[in-house]
């Protein structure tokens, strides 16, 4: 049974760091993560929480901070990364479908790797079909599901659940009733989890 819920949206910049390091980090710390995609953009718009658009100094810092931290984790992003994503909703509709099956992590890692390391926006072609193939899923059938009412409703339901938990950003790690927001709180989440289980 998963120990920590990992709430994220494909489209979030800092989530790149968590998505790419989570498998190794979980194994090293003997923690299982449940991947919970949602639409952080709609929650942020509701809250008028727009941290980077129209804030060029802060946005420039954000990219440099991600670059440095990626280096700490042995990752190799290629800048500038296309941003923001045009197809954020579609990327996350698919992730929600994948979360019911087993292929959400594989699809998400492939999406971010192509986006941040090859310059191919997540949620758009060719990234989206290639990420599905890498996750072992038929692109055509899955894209049809994502574009249907099932796809829309699945993402809305996940986003409603995130909102009800008090989540306002991506990534957010949830341990019991405690929220830990940001890739830079992953270690705090693990420490909290360890304390609860000792």
Site of interaction with a second copy (CB under 8 A): 47-49, 51, 54-55, 57-58, 60-61, 64-65, 68-69, 72, 166, 168-169, 178-181, 184-185, 188, 191-192
- Of 142 and 170, CB closest to a second copy: 170
- Of 57 and 149, CB closest to a second copy: 57
Specify the 3-state DSSP secondary structure of 178. strand
List the one residue out of 58, 60, 54, 71 whose CA is nearest residue 20: 71
164 half-sphere exposure, CB direction, 13 A CA radius: 6
Q: Where are the beta strands (DSSP E) in the chain?
A: 4-8, 33-37, 172-175, 178-181
- Of 55 and 86, CB closest to a second copy: 55
- Of 22 and 179, CB closest to a second copy: 179
Task: Determine the Cα angle at 31 with ends 186 and 134, to 5°.
Answer: 85
Shortest Å, Cβ 37 to a second copy: 20
Shortest Å, Cβ 156 to a second copy: 19
């Amino acid at each position: 049974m998963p120990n920590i819920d990992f709430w994220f949206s494909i489209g979030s910049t800092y989530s790149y760091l968590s998505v790419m390091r989570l498998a190794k980090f979980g194994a090293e710390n003997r923690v299982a993560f449940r991947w919970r995609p949602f639409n952080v953009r709609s929650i942020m718009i509701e809250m008028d929480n727009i941290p980077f658009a129209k804030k060029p100094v802060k946005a420039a810092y954000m990219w440099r901070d991600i670059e440095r931290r990626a280096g700490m984790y042995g990752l190799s992003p290629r800048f500038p990364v296309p941003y923001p994503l045009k197809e954020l909703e579609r990327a996350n509709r698919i992730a929600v479908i994948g979360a019911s099956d087993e292929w959400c992590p594989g699809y998400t890692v492939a999406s971010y790797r192509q986006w941040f390391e090859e310059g191919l926006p997540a949620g758009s072609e060719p990234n989206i079909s290639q990420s599905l193939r890498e996750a072992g899923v038929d692109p055509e059938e899955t894209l049809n599901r994502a574009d249907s009412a099932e796809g829309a409703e699945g993402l809305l339901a996940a986003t409603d659940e995130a909102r009800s938990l008090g989540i306002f950003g991506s990534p957010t790690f949830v341990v019991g009733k405690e929220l830990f927001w940001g890739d830079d709180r992953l270690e705090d989440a693990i420490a909290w989890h360890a304390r609860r289980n000792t």
